Amino acid sequence: MSRWTGFVLVIAWLIAGTSALGNDSVSKLSIHLIGSYTEGAKRIIAAKPRVIKVLDPQASAAMREAMRDYKRRHPKGLVVMRVWERTPDVRYRLQDDPVQSADDFWNRVLQPAVQALSADDRRLVDYLEGPNEGENTPTWGSVEEARWFGRFWERLAERIGQAGFRPCVGSIAVGNPPGSISEIRAKLDAFIPALRAAKRWNGAWSYHSYTIEYTTDPAVEYWYSLRYRIFYEFLRERYPDLANLPMILTEGGVDRAGNPNNDGWRARGDAAKFQKWLLWYDSELKNDPYIVGVTLFQIGNPGGWWSFEIEPIAQWLADVIANRPRTLRNPVLNGDFELGFDNISGETVANCWATWDGGIVNPIWPGSAHFWQVAGVPGSAQRTISGQIAGQSFRGGVYQVVEVVPGVPYRLTFDYMSVGTTDPGAGQEFLIGYDPEGGTDPFDPGVVWLVSTNMPSNMWQRVEAEVLPQAERLTLFTRCGIYWPVATVTLDVDNVSLRAKTTLAGKVVLGDYLGDPRCQTVEVQIRHATAGVVNQQEVPLSVDGEFEIVYDASLPADIYDVAVRGAHWLRRVVTGVRLPDGWVEVYLVNGDVDGDNEVTLFDFGALVQAFGTMPGDENWNPNADLDGDDEVSLFDFGVLLSNFGSIGED
């Protein structure tokens, strides 16, 4: 046995690196990074999206850091590089030779950029883009332009491929090629040489996928964010050999006319509206296997592209990409105040938080609320200010409406510090609380104030409370004020978090598995000593192997046993778990190809039958792909051999 094990390991080492790309994230959402590698971008990178896009890494240490961090965390992830540097001075006309123009673009723009990267950083780049939309070349104005553009890209794809990168062809602007279906098809037909070149060099092509009006009607978005479906319908009909050519949506989101301050999601909606659309959009992308992913525009450049900035919803997006269970998500956006602040009419307000002003409190000292970004615990916090510093009397604060599940208990936690006078006659007030019905009036009698005092704390304090939402939204409020401005009064808040109560949550380590846990589910049984199995579900895993059984108020609080098993992993039973709100961590043993909870010769036979296959092959058996590399190989025999004879728990 030991001699065979050694043989397997030697052969496995010899063929390392030849297996197909493994499973990727369930979600196809990701980010287009520009300028800075922000805290929000770091959180999204940690969630391991399928693909990212970086702008000018040759000129940006931050973009190089982002690429390195991404590939360190997700070696199978894909990096698209776009070069803007030098392009403003480059312009080609229809009268120019497209092949010579492509060579010129390579020599003047792309080659200097990639050569400016170190050899190690060049190896991080998978796909290289060319001219963006119609900024440098003829594109889709006519069939003649499309033919020119196709020849241009046919040559540029070759130059990119010869340099060791994969070409990402087209960078097609939303709504293009323009025209009727027949006109679109005619222009695509002229562009076919570029697509053949992309396929020849193991590349892809790209479309910029924006919604104009947040539509969730596929028939409408067919002309905008989902316009690429027109392209693939044409390819399936006329060029079936190109029908599976990968496409990367290298820009995406909400746009109307490209104005940096007026046309992105922040200028034409709120976070909840954008989140709702993104979830719908992601569900549509999952239906199209040729779509690698979308890199939402943009994160890292709020000064240049304020209304498009993804940073305010970065934690939410990271949770979606990671497939993190609801229990482990914080629905409060920017609750730790680390995802940026905005200047609103001279006041500094945290992204995703709104301000309210109670108006004049004392007519002798009229004024309005003031807001600052200050040091928190740690990082940043939100401050509301009144009193002597402004010589004003006012009442105001910040609030946020949060999406919740009615009837499910949540644990609300936050840190706060209040500063003011010890004079009880000054009319100070420091309040923090919530409206369980999601209202936006801080004076509503239904608001529950968890902090309510007229005396300052003068130090950071933590508050924890269980809250029960009565509707699908819950509103968080702060409230600070003073009647007689004899002192400066401030109320700082930080680390605001809501966590849904759960029946059970946990973490699973899938033994001997190199694939992505997000593409696996596990069977979870909750067993009672007298009632037997009281709950059994197949639940998805997060990028870190986390899962949950959602809260069920009908489950009596008691001690239970929890059994967990995976598709080709043996069952593990954890005893003595107190529910609800329990937590388990399990390691599952791999090798049970036939699902009988043992690793035996039957599993060996099933693996032999699938040996050498990949997804799509006739004898492909996903349960025989034990290590998750999308190929049944000697690596999988090695896993089975190491666990041979193991038996799962009953």
User: What confidence tens digit (pLDDT) does each residue in 238-293 have?
Assistant: 999 999 999 999 999 999 999 999 999 999 999 999 999 999 999 999 999 999 99
Residue the block writes with tokens 């043996």: 570
Architecture of domain 341-500: Sandwich (2.60)
Confidence at 346, pLDDT banded by 50, 70, 90: confident
Q: Greater confidence, 483 or 207? A: 207
- For the chain, the average pLDDT equals 93
| Residues carrying CATH 2.60.40.4130, the chain | 502-642
Confidence at 482, pLDDT banded by 50, 70, 90: confident
Nearest 10 degrees: CA dihedral of 375, 376, 382, 383? -60
Q: Which CATH number fits domain 502-642: 2.60.40.4130, 3.20.20.70, 3.40.50.880, 1.20.120.1690?
A: 2.60.40.4130
User: What confidence tens digit (pLDDT) does each residue in 159-182 have?
Assistant: 999 999 999 999 999 999 999 999
Amino acid 481: pLDDT: 86
Amino acid 12: pLDDT: 33
In this predicted structure, the answer to whether residue 369 has a pLDDT above a threshold of 80 is no
Q: Greater confidence, 2 or 134? A: 134
Token duo for residue 513: 């598995």
User: Whole-angstrom Cα distance, residue 135 to residue 284?
Assistant: 29
| Residues carrying CATH 2.60.120.260, the chain | 341-500
Amino acid 390: pLDDT: 55
| Burial call 87-101: b when 16+ CB within 10 Å, e when fewer | beeeebeeeeebeeb
Which element (helix H / strand E) includes 182?
Answer: helix 181-200
Q: Which CATH code for domain 27-322?
A: 3.20.20.70
Amino acid 190: pLDDT: 98
Question: Would you tell me the crossing angle of helices 181-200 and 228-238 to the nearest 10 degrees?
Answer: 70
Rounded mean pLDDT of 190-214?
98
> Among candidates 145, 226, 156, which has minimal Cα distance to 195?
156
In this predicted structure, the answer to whether residue 55 has a pLDDT above a threshold of 50 is yes
Rounded mean pLDDT of 61-74?
98
| Residues carrying CATH 3.20.20.70, the chain | 27-322
Rounded mean pLDDT of 348-362?
87
Amino acid 453: pLDDT: 95
In this predicted structure, the answer to whether residue 233 has a pLDDT above a threshold of 50 is yes
Amino acid 26: pLDDT: 84
pTM: 0.92
> Among candidates 419, 477, 490, 424, which has minimal Cα distance to 451?
477
